[in-house]
Amino acid sequence: MSTTVPATSAPGTPPVTDLEPEACYRAVASRDRRFDGVFWTAVSSTGIYCRPSCPARTPARRNVTFHASAAAAQRAGYRACKRCLPDAVPGSPAWDLHADLAGRAVRLIGDGLVDREGVDGLAAALGYSARHVVRVLTAELGAGPLALARARRAQTARALLEGSDLAVTDIAFAAGFASLRQFNATMQEVYAAAPRDLRGRAGPAAPAGALDLRVAVRAPYAAGAMLAFLAEHVVTGIETVAGTVYARSLALPHGPAVLAVDLGRVEGPVEAGVRQVPVTAWLTDLRDTGTLVERVRRLLDADADPVVLDDQLGTDPLLAPLVAATPGLRVPGAVDGPEVALRAVIGQQVSLAGARTVTGRLVERHGQELPAGLVGVVPGLTHLFPTSAALAEVDPATLPMPRARGRALAGLAGALASGAVRLDRGWARDDVRAALLALPGIGPWTADYVALRALGHPDVFLPTDVGVRRALVALGSAVDALPGLEAAWRPWRSYALMHLWNTLMPALPGAHPEEDS
């Protein structure tokens, strides 16, 4: 899609996007669900904006414009369709593939950075001037960072209205609005409804003190494989798996939290194109609601496009049976980038079980205990993962691991604590990799594993991984054929990697390569 959309008669400001209008209209006319979250359709005759797959009658071409974000449609004066709920879809998978400046900015805005630190804080995190960031986002998405953050606040408020019994005033400030008047005006403008009219949703009641939320993922979604991977990596004290529920503690900007994701109760028919994963959350500060949802989205790889992935990888002779057996397989992400990196170093050259044991000891010795209000909400969760600053101060000689690996862990922790390495998705992926490889004891396997899980890189492969080699042998392929196989899997090598690892469940993966010692 390359042709700029022409300005047409519509409420407010004309859209500024790079979407090719005729291709977009064909997607709308066919109600193609693959484009939900990729662009939004605004209808001037009704003043509303919709998903491309909205079941309402297809509007006349002359009345339609296309927007690269919900915020752009709102900025142009449109309100959200009450039938297709266009704000309740996964984000665009394009950001994961390209990870350009706009994509990195969107991720940071989703994490609440603009609400906490303003546009200047966003620009500083990205390494550009505020003016340049505003210019790029407006050109790419039709809305600047403030408008994107406003749309995020409205979505957070709606989630709280639907998933909690909090007072409306509490929800307004929890979502980040400066006043109740601003909150009411925004909700009326975006949803054409008063906050009280958005209350409630049929379903099981949330536990006392908890929020009942939903995270949208594209269908199909291999929830069982996601659960199996997370279960194999559980660390005592900070994570548990009970039945089909994965739960963990995490540190958020305003305080600790606990979340529970029920991967056995994914809601909505596959044919609808979007499914909902139930999430129960316990927060010490409700202002972290939007940030928590964004981090769960990262964990679940919610924005990936499984149709595109499966179509391409499913044509490969080696992967075709694996794709057919597990459609919609995702790459498990992370709720905290530094944690993934530190755990990767801890696990170098040891079995997965051994890494879990050592990490559990570090959590017990150096992790912060959960506050009283969170203890016991999920049995088995007692601590937060140790902060980078805390591990940077630990004498490597006292760590339960070989001395060289202890020094590597302390060095990485110091780099993370000082900001010499950042894993909040604000840096370009190549810059992160270079910064990691510059640290003693960090080799390509570790750097690429961090890119895979912490940065959401869709095109990472680990050719030296023992699990990969075991999977290839089991599938009847020679290990020396890997370079040619790997090249054919671009730009989705991360998902090919997951299909190979998935064949080894529940032993995922057994050991890490020696080069990262």
3-state secondary structure of 418: helix
Query: d(Cα 66, Cα 134) in Å, to the nearest integer?
Result: 20
Question: Is 465 tagged catalytic?
Answer: yes
Token pair belonging to 447 = 């750097």
Query: d(Cα 499, Cα 125) in Å, to the nearest integer?
Result: 34
Token pair belonging to 119 = 């546009």
3-state secondary structure of 477: coil
Question: Is 50 tagged catalytic?
Answer: yes
Cβ-in-10-Å burial (0-12, 13-18, 19+) of 34 comes to middle
| Identity of the residue numbered 364 | E
Token pair belonging to 178 = 């400066």
Say which residue the tokens 């809305």 belong to: 143
Pick the catalytic residue: 24, 50, 81, 84? 50
Query: d(Cα 10, Cα 440) in Å, to the nearest integer?
Result: 57
- Give me the residues paired with residue 214 across strands: 278
Pick the catalytic residue: 115, 336, 465, 516? 465
Closest CA to 171 of 191, 155, 151: 155
Closest CA to 458 of 343, 355, 331, 358: 331
C-beta separation of 240 from 234 below 8 A? yes
The angle at the Cα of 314, spanning 312 to 320, to the nearest 5 degrees, equals 155
**Which residues are identified as catalytic?**
50, 465
